[in-house]
Amino acid sequence: MPLPPLRGTPGTRPRARLLPRFLPRLLAVLAVVLGTAIAAPAPQARAAVTLTRVSDFGSNPGALTMYVYRPVTLPAHPAVVVALHGCTQNAQVYADNSGLPRLADEDGFLLVFAETGTANNVNKCFNWFQSGDNRRGQGEALSVRQMVGHAVTAYGADPGRVHVTGLSAGGAMTAVLLAAYPDVFSAGAVVAGLPYDCTRETSPYTCMNPGVDRSPADWAQRVRDAYPSYTGPWPRTAIWYGDRDTTVVPRNATELRDQWTALHGLSQTPTRSADIGPDATRQDQYLAADGTVAVEVDRVPGIGHGTPVDPGTGAEQCGGTGAPYFLDSLCSSRWIARFFGLDTTAPGDPDPGDPGPAACWTASNYAHVQAGRATTTGGYAYAVGSGQNMGLYNTFVTHTLKESPTGYFALADSGCP
């Protein structure tokens, strides 16, 4: 993750540099957190993915580099996934180890890799913490927006299916893009990242560890402030982190959840939870009224700071551990593609058209609302999906709700299923 922003020479982009008071902490970050060459050279990736550099995609105020991975077979009007590397990494390392190109081949979407360098940040971090780069219409955020525009015009990509994901500083910049350009990105996946605009009054280091606790309403307002005139739907957001991360601590995942559930008008209590993958990653999902997953939190057990991967050729495997911060666990990229709606027919998945068996829930109206199975208006509870009036919103009125298909609830007091 990055150094604090410092003022540069007038007329030039600001660069991060050392100051004596940051030296002890910086050395610890470089040696332990960022995986620089202080300890040992990083192992080489097993195979190099062929990327195409795009040199002219706009005015590029953030001085970023654009690379594209285009599958051999690409359908008309494909979806786009923008991928943002972590500190000390680059586009090639991220392509070689994240597993995303394999999924692009299988599922037919276009990959755009944005890359920053030492001219922007001494540790090659995206400047998620600098106001010149994390606001709509300027800096690195605008450069990525221009990359998306180029992908739409040059490759015929679908502007309604543009997604973004990234690790660490790239994850924090993912949150920036979702906040600054909700009209461009329909969904994003923040891996080991931070809530948008955490550094408005706080240093990047404090945001990273121990983290900053704010109310869901405060966090949500910070996103609204990024584009005050916006009145459209908010992007769907997945949040990934390792439960042993001491760099960007798990508290940030909780604050990210608070930020995006509040934006969607949802409770901070998950609608449903499950264990996924070979390591029993805990997945909490927060469903919108139409049954779609608006927010998802994936807690990966036993790993620290990095992208969860599962090297191998199995249907649920992807990625490699040929560089620092790619951690052997589960194929997070596949689950992220699934969240984006790009991987709906993976082996072992149910038929997307099959609603599956009905689930039944018996509880008070208060408990139904808290669990996301119902909403409340004017003192009454209403079933999510069917909109049926369930009576007064309190702990005394009890109903049975049937969930079928997933996220659609209907009264079933007379029998369920």
Of the candidates 189, 192, 188, the residue with the CA atom closest to the CA atom of residue 306 = 192
Residues 385 and 355: beta-carbon distance below 8 Å? no
Q: Parallel, antiparallel, or unpaired: how do β-strands 374-377 and 380-383 relate?
A: antiparallel
Residue 50 DSSP code: -
* Percentage helix, strand, coil for the chain under 3-state DSSP, each rounded to 5: 25, 20, 50
168 is catalytic: yes
Residues in the chain: 417
Q: Locate all alpha helices (DSSP H) within 56-130, ordered by sequence.
A: 91-98, 100-107
d(CA 79, CA 111): 9
Residues 316 and 346: beta-carbon distance below 8 Å? yes
Pair of tokens at residue 348: 């072992």
Q: Parallel, antiparallel, or unpaired: how do β-strands 65-69 and 110-115 relate?
A: antiparallel
Residue 410 DSSP code: E
Q: Which of 55, 59, 131, 168 is catalytic?
A: 168
Residue written as token pair 């990242």: 193
Burial class (CB in 10 A: 0-12, 13-18, 19+), 133: buried
Of the candidates 94, 248, 65, 237, the residue with the CA atom closest to the CA atom of residue 169 = 248
d(CA 276, CA 298): 9
d(CA 294, CA 303): 26
Positions marked active-site: 168
